């Protein structure tokens, strides 16, 4: 796992979280940007993350194991790493053996450090009202790996106040050293003061103990659970989970405030389901590198075809106005962690060593990642052996063990015949094209697949001119992976991203200061133009505008397509990119409400990176009653 190159699929999801870190002596390694498919083996959720003495510590919920059915996990495992690549596991640091009142359901641990002591705050016993044994507990140790003991022999918080369930706690230290605990499920959030002993609650100046800080509710993606707080540039960020934890609606939102006690104003989504990559990401922790300005979000997700949750992390960044650039759930693996966690093998002998994925010669062995890409840019380093061929499979479905036991496409490097090949399988093999190329056994080649609708291009080393271009529409989507056919091969630097780039509501502003709101349900890429997140600009007149920050993935020509909702009070807009107008004026007036996708302009970008897409109100149709713009998304489709 680790960084290969930054994935360029930009999604709309705005929200941030942090778990307190204590930054002591640091280190100088180059930290990865992404975790790969997952960063530790096993099923875990709800990760908190801290830094102690230059080491990252992750505190997750452990999945239920054999013998715990119906009662939930009764212990906590934690993980540490100095490089965010190699992780050490510490099992059962908290369990029923050292928490006397623990009966069932131990979850959502959160770490903290003060005055030479390490603390883990946790939820247990899943109470639903006062007078029950359970709630938020605290354990203490002299070392981050434990052993931990119960700090008070009873729950620290075992009551329901302001409708907030006593769970999903997060400790935050303000600049003056005062410790606060944010917590709450069931749609409400409280904050309490922690006394200096870290195991008792203080009071507010008005004599109360529990203060409600639930972010303002709008009726759309409101706070549900899992608060995390951090401070940056004098702004308090509260991140939280919205949606239902067990399905694809689960996501990370964020709100901001100028005060530790709010009011917290929702700003949008940071992380949500990506139908090509992973489902229901959320309940996260956030940390800043002790040596750089890099920020990371740790979270759980589910693979597309599994109900189990696994842990991942990604780097994220801020806009100049202190809003958060949405998180990318990258599909990347460079095997630096020495394992192939997240890969499913079909035949053959697969091993990881030397930062590469090795497979022994086999008639048709393959390894797949649980993804569902249709239009994509898929890249990897392929080292073929002296016999047979080796390469990449994509748009794969119905995989099995056997040389052609799958449906999908395969592009391979054939050393004996000195050629690049592409074909398709459906329990038999159909060749689509070949191209001559000088190939050397056991030499590394960089292979790129660009699949857009029925067009498929295969690049080898030269990333500007394809070796093969074919047209085939048999298979439209599925998993990606690697394959060998009678070749002992190696693979490295796996990276796949959608080639149909969509970005939603990344950065919004209006000259008039009028309302700009969000609409839609935001459960993933809005393929039907009716379910994504968009921005409503209630414009007053000409020259009001909305801006989006768009991460253009590579220097090339794109068709810029914009999803809109037309209506009787809509205006006209002119698109500009970095203050240069493109395309013609677009009119959103319609007698009825309807979604549509506009092909706004063809633009050649000379460089990759963030660009400012501005939608400037240029006027209105004579029949329109207003100047409003409803923009659902932006797609960049490679030409």
**How far is it, in rounded angstroms, from Cα 151 to Cα 172?**
19
- The radius of gyration of the chain's CA atoms, rounded to the nearest angstrom, is 26
Determine how many CB atoms are found less than 10 A away from the CB of residue 175: 8
**How far is it, in rounded angstroms, from Cα 507 to Cα 550?**
9
Using alpha carbons, select from 259, 329, 323, 332 the residue that is nearest to residue 297. 329
Please state, in angstroms and as integers, the Cα–Cα distance from residue 101 to each residue in 147, 320, 598, following that order: 18, 48, 60
What's the longest Cα–Cα distance across the chain? 82
Please state, in angstroms and as integers, the Cα–Cα distance from residue 325 to each residue in 16, 59, 203, 285, following that order: 10, 25, 36, 16
- According to DSSP H, which parts of 300-381 are helical? none
Token output for 416? 């004996």
Per DSSP, 258 falls in state S
Residue with tokens 């003991």: 149
**How far is it, in rounded angstroms, from Cα 220 to Cα 444?**
50
**How far is it, in rounded angstroms, from Cα 545 to Cα 497?**
30
Residue pair 179/198 in contact (Cβ under 8 Å)? The answer is: yes
Per DSSP, 437 falls in state -
Exposed / middle / buried, residue 495 (Cβ in 10 Å: 0-12, 13-18, 19+): buried
Residue pair 134/126 in contact (Cβ under 8 Å)? The answer is: yes
Question: Which residues is 359 bridged to in the sheet?
Answer: 350, 489
Token output for 392? 């990449």
Using alpha carbons, select from 111, 106, 52 the residue that is nearest to residue 78. 111
Please state, in angstroms and as integers, the Cα–Cα distance from residue 89 to each residue in 3, 18, 45, 79, 104, following that order: 22, 22, 15, 5, 22
| Backbone phi, psi, residue 637, to 5° | -110, 115
**How far is it, in rounded angstroms, from Cα 189 to Cα 163?**
8
Please state, in angstroms and as integers, the Cα–Cα distance from residue 446 to each residue in 382, 459, 491, following that order: 6, 8, 10
Please state, in angstroms and as integers, the Cα–Cα distance from residue 523 to each residue in 224, 275, 277, following that order: 16, 9, 13
Token output for 129? 């009202």
- Vertex 55: Cα angle to 49 and 59 (nearest 5): 30
Please state, in angstroms and as integers, the Cα–Cα distance from residue 509 to each residue in 119, 158, 462, following that order: 42, 43, 41
- Vertex 507: Cα angle to 503 and 508 (nearest 5): 115
Please state, in angstroms and as integers, the Cα–Cα distance from residue 544 to each residue in 313, 514, 573, 588, following that order: 38, 9, 10, 15
Strands 75-81, 88-95: parallel, antiparallel or unpaired by DSSP?
Answer: antiparallel
Residues recognised as catalytic: 46, 225
| Backbone phi, psi, residue 436, to 5° | -70, 140
Residue pair 522/12 in contact (Cβ under 8 Å)? The answer is: yes
């Amino acid at each position: 796992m680790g960084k290969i190159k930054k994935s360029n699929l930009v999604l709309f999801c705005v929200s941030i979280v942090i778990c307190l870190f204590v930054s002591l002596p640091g280190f100088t390694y180059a930290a990865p940007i992404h975790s790969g498919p997952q960063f530790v083996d096993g099923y875990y959720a709800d990760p908190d993350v801290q830094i102690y003495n230059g080491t990252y510590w992750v505190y997750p919920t452990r999945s239920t194991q054999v013998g715990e059915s119906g009662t939930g996990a009764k212990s906590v495992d934690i993980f540490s790493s100095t490089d965010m690549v190699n992780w050490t596991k510490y099992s059962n640091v908290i369990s029923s053996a050292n928490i006397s009142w623990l009966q069932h359901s131990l979850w959502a641990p959160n770490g903290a450090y003060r005055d030479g002591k390490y603390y883990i705050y946790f939820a247990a016993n899943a109470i639903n009202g006062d007078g029950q044994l359970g709630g938020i507990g605290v354990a203490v140790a002299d070392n981050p790996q434990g052993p931990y003991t119960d700090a008070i022999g009873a729950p620290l918080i075992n009551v329901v106040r302001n409708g907030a369930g006593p769970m999903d706690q997060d400790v935050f230290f303000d600049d003056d050293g005062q410790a606060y605990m944010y917590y709450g499920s069931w749609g409400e959030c409280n904050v309490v003061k922690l006394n200096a002993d870290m195991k008792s609650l203080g009071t507010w100046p008005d004599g109360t103990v529990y203060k409600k800080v639930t972010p303002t509710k709008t009726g759309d993606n409101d706070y549900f659970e899992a608060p995390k707080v951090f401070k940056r540039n004098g702004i308090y960020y509260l991140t939280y989970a919205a949606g239902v934890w067990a399905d694809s609606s689960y996501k990370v939102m964020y709100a901001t405030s100028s005060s530790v006690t709010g009011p917290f104003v929702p700003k949008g989504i940071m992380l949500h389901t990506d139908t090509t990559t992973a489902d229901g990401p959320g309940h996260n922790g956030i940390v800043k590198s002790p040596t750089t300005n890099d920020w990371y979000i740790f979270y759980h997700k589910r693979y597309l075809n599994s109900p189990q949750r696994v842990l991942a992390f990604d780097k994220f960044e801020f806009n100049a106005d202190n809003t958060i650039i949405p998180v990318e759930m990258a599909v990347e693996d460079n095997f630096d962690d020495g394992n192939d966690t997240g890969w499913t093998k079909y035949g053959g002998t697969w091993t990881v060593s030397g930062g590469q994925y090795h497979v022994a010669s086999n008639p048709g062995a393959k390894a797949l990642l649980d993804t569902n890409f249709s239009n994509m840019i898929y890249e990897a380093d392929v080292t073929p052996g002296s016999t047979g061929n080796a390469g990449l499979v994509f748009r794969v479905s119905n995989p099995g063990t056997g040389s052609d036991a799958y449906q999908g496409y395969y592009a391979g490097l054939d050393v004996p015949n000195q050629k690049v090949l592409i074909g398709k399988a459906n329990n038999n093999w159909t060749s689509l094209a070949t191209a001559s190329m000088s190939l050397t056994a056991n030499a590394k080649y960089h292979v790129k697949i660009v699949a857009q609708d029925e067009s498929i291009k295969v690049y080898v080393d030269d990333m500007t001119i394809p070796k093969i271009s074919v047209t085939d529409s048999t298979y439209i989507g599925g998993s990606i992976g690697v394959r060998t056919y009678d070749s002992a091969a190696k693979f490295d630097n796996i990276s796949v991203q959608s080639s149909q780039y969509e970005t939603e509501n990344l950065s919004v502003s209006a000259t008039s200061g009028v309302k700009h709101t969000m609409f839609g349900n935001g459960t993933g890429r809005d393929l039907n133009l009716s379910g994504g997140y968009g921005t409503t600009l209630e414009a007053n007149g000409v020259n009001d505008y909305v801006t989006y920050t768009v991460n253009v993935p590579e220097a090339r020509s794109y068709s810029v397509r914009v999803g809109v909702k037309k209506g009787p009070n809509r205006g006209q807009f002119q698109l500009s990119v970095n203050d240069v107008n493109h395309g013609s004026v677009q009119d959103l007036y319609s007698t009825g409400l309807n979604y549509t996708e506009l092909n706004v302009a063809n633009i050649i970008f000379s460089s990759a990176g963030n660009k400012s897409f501005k939608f400037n109100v240029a006027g209105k149709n004579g029949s329109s009653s207003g100047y409003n713009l409803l923009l659902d998304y932006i797609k960049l489709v490679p030409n």
